[in-house]
Amino acid sequence: MKKIKPIYKFFICVITCIFIFVFGTRLIFGAFPIIYIDGERYWLYSSEVILKPYILDQKELDKISHFVRLKRLSVGTYRTDLSCLNGLTGLEKLNLDFTSSDVRVVDFEKLETFPDLKFFSIVSNNFDGSFIERSKDLEVLYITSNFAVNSEKIWNCRKLKEVVIGVRSGEFSFDGVSKLDDLEFLVISDHGVDETEKASITGTSELSKCKNLSKLVLLCDIDDYSFLNDMPALKELTVYEGVLSADIEKTLKAKGVEIKYNERNDKKI
């Protein structure tokens, strides 16, 4: 058998190494594909993605549509076209932050609903609530807005168990809240620092009709707190210091309600 010359062995070895490198790399990155969004690297098959805030370029934001198994997404952006999220039908949790956006209204008309979505959180200058009303299976909702929040559309989302609302101005009404049979935890906060800029909170008497509401946080100004005496499931209450009358406080404590007080400059829940 004819022996292979050393020089040929060398070339064969080099070619083999190149072959292994090229096709091995393709194999590895084919199994673990990577997406680059705004300079950050993400795995294509991630179930949870927390994007670096704040995304400026719509083209970068649109890359979100490439994820194929995404269940939990957090994104902060200046852009308001969210159509790139359409197709992510497996989403269960969605956090959106438009804090730094000068645009007051985010375009939710182009955004489809997600059949498995249970948790939705949004920080936005303005939010009309239409997306929530279409998301019938939501269980947890967090909204922080500098302007009015359409409470009627929130109360139409009947499966909500936990609702946290921070609203700085406009009117917010509890009318319709009793439709949420599963509601257990509710927070309403006027998170504005400026005392001249406050939300108007109305319809509080309907809270007494909430059969399963056990934990209530009211960090806002309310004219009449007597409805608290009639809340059947209330176990824990957080309010501003000094807002409860002695009679209401005594009645609640007699029922075993734990009362916590916040100072007005303390927005912690």
Cis peptide before 54 (omega within 30 of 0): yes
Please report whether residue 269 resides in a domain. no
Domain that residue 241 falls in: 34-262
Say yes or no to pLDDT of 217 above 90. Answer: yes
pLDDT tens sequence across 244-258: 999 999 999 999 999
Q: What is the DSSP letter of 113?
A: P
- Phi/psi of residue 140, each to 5°? -130, 130
Q: What is the pLDDT of residue 191?
A: 63
Cα torsion 144, 150, 152, 156: sign? negative
226 and 148 inside one domain = yes
6 and 67 inside one domain = no
Host H or E run for residue 145: strand 140-145
Say yes or no to pLDDT of 36 above 70. Answer: yes
Q: What is the pLDDT of residue 27?
A: 43
Beta-carbon count within 10 A of 169 CB: 18
pLDDT tens sequence across 128-164: 777 888 888 999 999 988 777 788 889 999 999 999 9
39 and 17 inside one domain = no
pLDDT tens sequence across 71-91: 999 998 877 788 889 889 899
Q: What is the pLDDT of residue 254?
A: 96
Q: Looking at the 3D structure of the chain, how many domains does it have? A: 2
Please report whether residue 268 resides in a domain. no
Structure pTM? Answer: 0.82
Host H or E run for residue 176: none
13 and 64 inside one domain = no
pLDDT tens sequence across 167-192: 877 788 999 999 999 999 999 988 65
Please report whether residue 174 resides in a domain. yes
Please report whether residue 267 resides in a domain. no
2 and 46 inside one domain = no
